[in-house]
């Protein structure tokens, strides 16, 4: 397995949607009681194309197949926000997520990294904390509570 991180192109949208659906629907298996779903637009090729054009969207590729992706936003003044990271279930628990975060932090030098993750996503919280992210707050939306994380570098 040789995962390559590449900038996403508009032609990647369908494969990215399939990877997002697989990854986010798997959460319902990992967390019984959680409804099948994901972030807004995760299952829409149109929305994925918009995110590719608006943000900095990367693919995770193994042997020519997209197995995950990640989106970052340069917020200015040394602040980068991780908007999304996802890996298809068959590729999870292989260190790819750690490699992906390290790739992003190296590729986009920043003094502040932020992200959010669902309050019920215990696995995600452990993953981010293992990489040095610290919970700094939470935001309640009508349908979900998100924990906010930050990591200062330098």
Q: Render each residue's pLDDT in the chain as its tens digit; 154 residues.
A: 799 999 999 999 999 999 999 999 998 888 888 888 888 889 999 999 999 998 899 999 999 999 999 999 999 999 999 999 999 999 999 999 999 999 999 999 999 999 999 999 999 999 999 999 999 999 999 989 999 999 999 8
Q: Which domain holds residue 110?
A: 4-152
- Number of domains comprising the chain: 1
Residue given tokens 């990647």 in the structure block: 12
Q: How many CA atoms lie within 13 A of 92 on its CB side?
A: 16
Query: What per-residue confidence (pLDDT) applies to 150?
Result: 98
pLDDT reported for residue 143: 87
Counting every residue written for the chain, the total comes to 154
CATH number at residue 86: 3.40.630.30
Decide the pairing of beta strands 65-76 and 134-140.
unpaired
């Amino acid at each position: 397995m040789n995962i390559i991180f590449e900038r996403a192109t508009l032609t990647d949208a369908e494969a990215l949607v399939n990877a997002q659906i697989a990854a986010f629907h798997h959460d319902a298996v990992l967390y019984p009681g959680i409804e099948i779903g994901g972030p807004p637009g995760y299952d829409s090729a149109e929305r994925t194309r918009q995110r590719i054009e608006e943000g900095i969207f990367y693919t995770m590729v193994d042997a020519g197949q997209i197995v995950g992706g990640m989106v970052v936003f340069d917020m200015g003044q040394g602040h980068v926000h991780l908007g999304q990271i996802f890996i298809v279930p068959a590729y999870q628990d292989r260190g790819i997520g750690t490699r992906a975060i390290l790739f992003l932090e190296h590729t986009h030098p920043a003094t502040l990294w932020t992200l959010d993750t669902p309050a019920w996503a215990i696995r995600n919280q452990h993953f981010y904390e293992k990489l040095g992210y610290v919970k700094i707050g939470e935001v309640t939306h009508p349908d979900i509570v998100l924990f906010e994380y930050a990591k200062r570098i330098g």
